[in-house]
Amino acid sequence: MLASILASGLAAGAIYALVGVTYNTMFSTSRVMSFTAGQLAMLGGVFGSMFTLKLGMPIVVGLLLTLIGCAIIGIITEFVAVRPVLKSLDQHLYVLSTLALALMIQQVAAIKWGTEPQPFPRLIGLGSGVFDEKFWLPVVACAITILGLEYLYRRTLVGRAFVAIAEDNFAARALGLPERNLRVASYALAGVVGGIAGFSGGELLLAFFANGALLNFYGFVPVALGGLGNNRGAVVGGLALGLFQQAANFLVGGIFSSVAVFALFIVVLLAAPQGLFGASTARRV
């Protein structure tokens, strides 16, 4: 039982963590919580299945096209749901605009792809039982993504520009950084991260339009637990969520496990409103 909890808990947790990172990547350059994050991960599974199983493309080509497709959806999010409401961030109109776009993505997926889950291909064909690739692939993908993002943010000029925008938007613009282009790029990057979440978790979650809403919800929990904008916090929060959820599945069963997860979530937020790894920020008045 313990092995099963660890295997599926870590796998689900890694997917939640990647969706959390998707939220953070979009938030960092726009200060917007875009509720399309889960839909991007859903599309990662749907595109992956479509390119590889339906269109018969090789896995690598399917992965590349999936990531490109998700990046385009990320850019569309910025243009359609974020840019028009950036001037009135304090009114939180982005909640409405990004939720509306998320619903549109979900409905189009349901109509064009179908409302039943579709199979996702075996990507490598390694392992069985609790060591099956469907359990360890999301964990590996999560680790590689985090390392890649750390490299991007710390060692590359573009990454440092992302960080500068995230730190102080006005100062970065004053220094001549192309804030708008960087924001578009960050939404494309978020699309890629979401696509990786869906593609690596495809064997576990299948290519299913309803995964979007689920991942929107469970992907938000690690962001809140780990602290907004904190990728490391999102990873720790995501893995903890996955393990706790799976343990609750074994101990108390399906419906009650969701109750247990959100009871814990509320308790943590009551104890640490800024998240376990977030720091409270001073606001100039």
Partner 1 sequence: MAISRRDVILGSAGALGAATFSFPKPAIAQTEPIKIGCLAAMTGPSSAPTIGFNRGVYFAADAINAAGGVKGRKLEIVMRDTQGDPTKAVNATQELISQAKVHGIWGPLNSGEALATTPIMARAKIPNIHPCVVETLIDTTKFPNAFRMAPSNSQWDDAVRNYCLNILKVKKIAVIGDTTGYGVTAVGASVAAFKKDGADVVYQANIDATQPDMTPDLLRAKNAGAEVIVVWSVTTGMEARMFNTRAAMNWDVAFVGHPSLSSGEIAGLVEKPANWEKVYAIGYKSVSYDGAGKLPAKTQDLVDRLAKAKVAMNDTLLWWIAGGIDAIELFAKGVETSGSTEGPGIVAYLNSLSKYPGYFGDYTFNPTQHNGYPTDEIVMSQASTARNGTFALAPGYT
Packing angle between helix 254-271 and helix 211-226, nearest 10 degrees? Answer: 30
Q: Please work out the total of residues on this chain that contact partner 1, with binding judged by CB under 8 A.
A: 28
Residues near 245 by beta carbon (within 8 Å), at least 6 away in sequence: 9, 12, 13, 218, 257, 258, 260, 261
Of the candidate residues 1, 270, 279, 282, the single one contacting partner 1 (CB under 8 A): 1
Joined together, the tokens standing for residue 119 give 């199979």
Q: Is 258 an interacting residue with respect to partner 1 (CB under 8 A)?
A: yes
Stretch that binds partner 1, among 66-74, 201-209, 220-228, 230-238 (CB under 8 A): 201-209
Stretch that binds partner 1, among 5-13, 73-81, 144-152, 175-183 (CB under 8 A): 5-13
Site string for partner 1, 110-149 (x = CB under 8 A): xx--xxxxxx---------x--------------------
Stretch that binds partner 1, among 55-63, 179-187, 209-217, 221-229 (CB under 8 A): 209-217
**Residue 211 vs residues 115, 187, 192, 218, 285: alpha-carbon distances, Å:** 11, 20, 17, 10, 42
CA neighbor of 140 nearest in space, from 196, 77, 203: 196
Beta bridge partners of 207: 118
Write out the DSSP string of 72-127: HHHHHHIIIIIGGGGGGGGGTHHHHHHHHHHHHHHHHHHHHH-SS-B----SS---
Rounded CA gap, 20 and 43, in Å?
16
Site string for partner 1, 238-257 (x = CB under 8 A): --------x--xx--xxx--
Amino acid (one-letter) located at 24:
N
Rounded CA gap, 269 and 6, in Å?
25
Compute the least distance from the CB of residue 204 to partner 1, in Å: 5
Q: Which is nearer to partner 1, 8 or 24 (CB)?
A: 8
Compute the least distance from the CB of residue 182 to partner 1, in Å: 35
Compute the least distance from the CB of residue 9 to partner 1, in Å: 9
Joined together, the tokens standing for residue 80 give 């359609």
Interactions with partner 1, residue window 84-113 (CB under 8 A): 110-111
Site string for partner 1, 10-49 (x = CB under 8 A): -xx-------------------------------------
Question: What residues make contact with partner 1 under the rule CB under 8 A?
Answer: 1, 4, 8, 11-12, 110-111, 114-119, 129, 204-206, 208, 210-211, 214, 246, 249-250, 253-255, 258
